[in-house]
Structure 1
Amino acid sequence: MEKHEFLILLRKIEAAYPHNKIGDETALMWRRACLDMDFHHVMEKLMTHIEKNPYPPSIAEIAVFTRSESLFLHQAKRWEQEGKERIERDQQLGRRKPVPSWLSERAAR
Structure 2
Amino acid sequence: MTRAEILKLLVLIESVYTRFVTKDEMVLFWFKIGPNLDCEKVLGKVRSHIRKSPYPPSVEDLIDYPGDMLMPSLSCTAGESGIIGNRQDSLSPWMREYSIR
Q: TM-score, normalised by structure 1?
A: 0.56
Structure 2 equivalent of residue 31 of structure 1 = 31
The amino acid that maps onto 1:13 is I
Structure of greater Rg: 1
Q: Distance in 2 between matches of 1:30 and 1:22?
A: 11
CA distances 1:3-50 after superposition (whole Å, capped 9, x unpaired)? 111111011110110111110111111221222000011000000001
| Partner in structure 1 of residue 14 of structure 2 | 14
- Equivalent residue, structure 2, for 1:51: 51
Unmatched 5+ stretches in structure 2 = 66-101
For 1:19, give the aligned amino acid: R
What's 2:4 paired with?
4
Q: Which has the higher contact order (CA 8 A, sep 6+)?
A: 2
**Structure 1: 5+ residue stretches without partners:** 66-109
**TM-score normalised by length of structure 2:** 0.60
1:82 is matched with none
C-alpha separation between the residues in 2 aligned to 1:51 and 1:17? 12
Percent identity, aligned pairs only?
Answer: 35
For 1:42, the aligned partner's letter is: V
Structure 1 CA distance for aligned equivalents of residues 35 and 7 of structure 2: 12
State the distance in 2 between where 1:57 and 1:30 align: 13
Query: 2:39 is matched by which residue type in structure 1?
Result: F
Q: Which runs of 4+ in 1 moved over 3 A?
A: none
